[in-house]
A and B are shown apart, each in its own frame.
Chain A
Amino acid sequence: MNIVVLVKQVPDSGADRNLRTDDNTVDRGSANNVINEMDEYAIEEALKIKEAHGGEVTILTMGPDQATESIRKALSMGPDKAVHVLDDALAGSCAVATSKVLSAALGQLNADLVLCGAESTDGRVQVLPHMIAERLGIAALTGARKLTVDGGTLTIERQTEEGYEVVTAETPAVVSVWDTINEPRYPSFKGIMAAKKKPVQTLPLVDLGVAPAEVGHAGATSAVLEHSKRPPRSSGTKVTDEGAGGTQLVEFLATEKFV
């Protein structure tokens, strides 16, 4: 099975993150940039399917030059190769434009299965899998906590508020996964060394048939008008339980009219 995994480089969600003041985009310069955590689960799932059914795993990333670090990190887990969509015109791209670019790249890769994380930790927009499926006219099985591959038939358990849905489709399809699906492997030393030699193809926009005006700030379908830091919460009363902590808690709840 020919599997493509979408990987996004994001600012580390464990540290302070900011928007730039000049163009209102994510500040990547001041951040520690890492693979979007949820994407590691997609990579793991791809590798498991390859191990069970054979095939090839390709990483597809759209992002600036520095995303190369995340591509190598992804390859060190075991995928075979990577494609990096890299073009200065892409800076500031909205989700709609991003889906156009990724769909164009996927059109050249003939994937049976496109795997991705259910959301990124920066935007948390969660729209890309369905946007791509819509553009390519293929199925989207999203929010998977379990994926089964049986020949060309894919079946997922989709997590819902009430429980789960069992959803099935034939390949080709896009499948997005939550972090409940597996436990991603750590790259081995051998894997890290091997990743340095794995092929990474760079694709500029011109090779994808997408015009610069359709992407980036020029082609954005939405705009950030302004942004500001939310004032940090200030801590209130803190008591140490000396036998009446629960009662004191209820007294607080009572003054706030919760009980």
Chain B
Amino acid sequence: MSEVLVVVEATREFGVKKVTLEMLTLARGLGTPSAVVLGGPGAAEALSAKLGEYGAAKIYAAESAEIDGHLVSPKATVLAELVTRVQPAAVLLASAQEGKEIAARLAVKLDNGILTDVVGLDADGTATQVVFAGSTIVKSKVTRGLPLVTVRPNSITPEPAAATPAVEQLTVSVSAADKLARVVNRVAEQKGSRPELTEASVVVSGGRGVGTADNFKLVEELADLLGGAVGASRAAVDSGYYPHQFQVGQTGKTVSPQLYIALGISGAIQHRAGMQTSKTIVAVNKDGEAPIFELADFGVVGDLFKVVPQTAEEIRKRR
């Protein structure tokens, strides 16, 4: 079977990200997955067990301080060389900022088509995308070159398939042009132990109705009880209640969790764009006419400052 390259997304703290496991699962529908680790020295070793668990038959490791110290470009150069050498059946990357950027450079280097925000991929390379704020489903295909696709997190359920991957170290030789954008510092900001927004099975979001930054504790408390991530509407972010990286919507993150709980969010199209493909939607809002209720599987018209504490209390009671 032909080889399918999956570019690994991982964090220093939590290791292999769920979207990587989803990509490995998708890749098995097209051929034999090979994981590609692009990172600093020693990056691959900590990840190989997990990658094998989900079917990576091979791991290509490109590990270098040059990759770690520069933005995106060296990764694309290494990947382009690998693609040219092994001629894979497809290349899969995560549909997040960096994955899209590596794919962008790869597309130009190889003069190859690119499809982003893919939620499904057939054996013949036909991709499914959901566009226009989740209102339209598109089937599309790369018509020049190989299927180069970025996969939206939480699109499919990862399925294990044990393999024992052989690790092949890649030589990293990057050009001067690859070293133009230098990463001089990485700063971690608040997140704690919560799952990442785009990967979480449960997302609890707060909107303008939450009222203050301090009141977001209520949103966080419910998220923690359900093992979920915290999100915020644009109105809440613009009001300074919660940081921008947690914004769900048209100009923020797109999430597709099993359960989405909207607290004090009216449900403007800007917000719906980022969450309406969630499996189950629950809303609490004091305005019974709020458009969020048109999407909600279960809605409570009421004061979130009464409903949410009672919800939290009731969940604790049932434990």
Contact = CB atoms under 8 A, between A and B. Distances in A.
B159 interface: no
Interface stretch (A42-50, A75-83, A156-164, A193-201): A156-164
Given A96-B111, A161-B11, A230 B188 contact: no
In this complex, the member of A95, A164, A230 whose beta carbon has the largest number of chain B beta carbons within 10 angstroms is A230
Interface in B295-314: 295-303, 306-314
A229 interface: yes
A250 B280 contact: no
A225 B96 contact: no
Contacts, number: 285
A211 interface: no
B269 A159 contact: no
Contacts of B90: none
Contacts of B133: 13, 17
A256 interface: yes
A220 interface: yes
Give the interface centre of A127, A179, A222, A229 by most chain B CB atoms within 10 Å. Answer: A222
A133 B145 CA distance: 21
Contact of A223 (B96, B114, B141, B282): B141
B135 A253 contact: no
A68 interface: no
Contact of A164 (B187, B191, B251, B312): B187
Interface in A100-126: 121-126
Interface stretch (A1-9, A51-59, A141-149, A202-210): A141-149
Interface in B96-155: 96-97, 100-101, 103-105, 107-109, 111-117, 126, 130-145
Contacts of A129: 101, 104
B288 interface: yes
A230 B137 contact: yes
Interface stretch (A84-92, A184-192, A237-245): A237-245
Interface centre among A37, A134, A143, A244, by most chain B C-beta atoms within 10 angstroms, is: A134
B11 A137 contact: no
Given A168-B181, A179-B251, A245-B284, A99 B108 contact: yes
A96 B101 CA distance: 13
B76 interface: yes
Nearest to A37: B251
B72 interface: yes
B182 interface: yes
A79 to B, nearest CB: 22
Interface residues of A, number: 85
B1 interface: no
Contact of B307 (A142, A164, A249): A249
Contacts of B78: none
Given A240-B301, A241-B303, A96 B180 contact: no
B114 A222 contact: yes
Nearest to B147: A222
B314 A247 contact: yes
B65 interface: no
A167 B141 contact: no
A174 to B, nearest CB: 10
B60 interface: no
A250 B311 contact: yes
Given A129-B101, A133-B73, 6 more contacts: A13-B269, A96-B108, A124-B117, A221-B114, A227-B139, A235-B293
Interface of B: 11, 13, 71-73, 76, 96-97, 100-101, 103-105, 107-109, 111-117, 126, 130-145, 177, 180-189, 191, 196-197, 202, 226, 244-245, 250-251, 258-259, 268-270, 273, 276, 280-282, 284, 288, 293-303, 306-315, 318
Interface of A: 13-19, 37-38, 94-96, 99, 121-131, 133-135, 137-143, 145, 155, 158-170, 173, 178-180, 220-230, 233, 235-241, 244-250, 252-254, 256, 258-259
